Amino acid sequence: MKISIYNTYDEMSKAAAELVAKQLAIKPDSVLCFPSGDSPTGMLKNLVDAANDGRIDLSQCFFVGLDEWVGMDQNDVGSCKYYLHTNFFSKLSIDPERIILFDAKSDDLESECERINNFISEKGGLDVMMVGIGMNGHLGLNEPGTSFDLYAHRSALDPITVQVGQKYFQQETKLTEGITLGLKHLSEAKIPVLIASGAKKATIIAEGLQGSVTTEVPASILQTIPNAIILLDKDAASALEHAS
C-alpha cells in the first residue's frame, strides 16, 4: 500500500479529488464508490466545483453506495444517502439511473445485497472504492469480526459505531444494523482508497496500517492489498511509525 500524508485537510481533499479526476481521464464511465462522513466532504466539494467548472465530466460515471443504516433513506438526516445527496448529487446534474444506492428500507435486504453485487460484477468491478475508517477500525459498515471474504451484506452494528454514529443525527437515534459493501469489494477494486483526517483517528489508523492483520481490526485488510492508496492529513497520520 502507498501512504500519502498531507499537511492540511484541504491538501488531502484536493489530492483525493485529483485521484478521481485522473481516473476519469482514463475511463470516463468509471464505477465510483464514495463514503459519507467528515473525511470525504472536502473531496466531494472539490469534485463538484471541478464538474461545475467543466474541468471534469461526471455524467458518464456510475456511483455505487458504500453503506447505509438499515431502515433509513435520503429523507433521514444522518443517513448516508442524505449525506451524498446533500454534499454531492444535489449539486450536479447526474442521471438518477447512474446512482446505485442500497435501499435500506427494503423488506428483502438480502436481495438488495445481491442487486448491488450483481451491478458491480456486471460493470467489471469498482474502479475507485473509497472508504473512511471508524473509531473501531471499520471500513464501510464492516464491523470488527467481519470476514475479509464477504461482498455486500447486512451488518450488526458494533457498540462503538452506534455511539459515534449519533453525531450524524439531530437527536438520539436507534441504530442496530447496517447494509454495506464488503471487504472483498475493497480488495478487488482497481483503486482501493482510504481517506482519513483528524487526530482522533490517529490511534486506530496506526493499529490498522501497522498492527496485526486481523478481522478484529477490519482496516488491517489494507495491509494485504498491494495497490491500496492511503490519504491522510498529518493529524490522522500522527501515530504512525516513520510517518513522513
Query: Catalytic amino acids?
Result: 67, 136, 138, 143
Q: Where are the alpha helices (DSSP H) in the chain?
A: 9-26, 41-52, 80-87, 109-122, 159-165, 183-188, 202-210
C-alpha cell at 174: 436507534
- Give dist(CA 172, CA 30) in Å, integer: 38
Which amino acid, one-letter code, is at 4?
A: S
Task: Report the b/e string of 8-36 with b at 16+ CB within 10 A.
Answer: ebebbbbbbbebbbebbeeeeebbbbbbb
Residues 39 and 196 sit within 8 Å (Cβ to Cβ):
yes
Q: Which residues pair with 178 in a beta bridge?
A: 69, 155
Contacting residues for 68 by C-beta, under 8 A, at least 6 apart: 79, 80, 81, 101, 102, 104, 178, 179, 180
- Give dist(CA 102, CA 40) in Å, integer: 19
Other C-beta atoms within 10 Å of 7: how many?
10
CA distances (Å), origin 198, targets 12, 138, 209: 11, 16, 16
Nearest residue to 133 (alpha-carbon basis) of 219, 241, 217, 71: 219
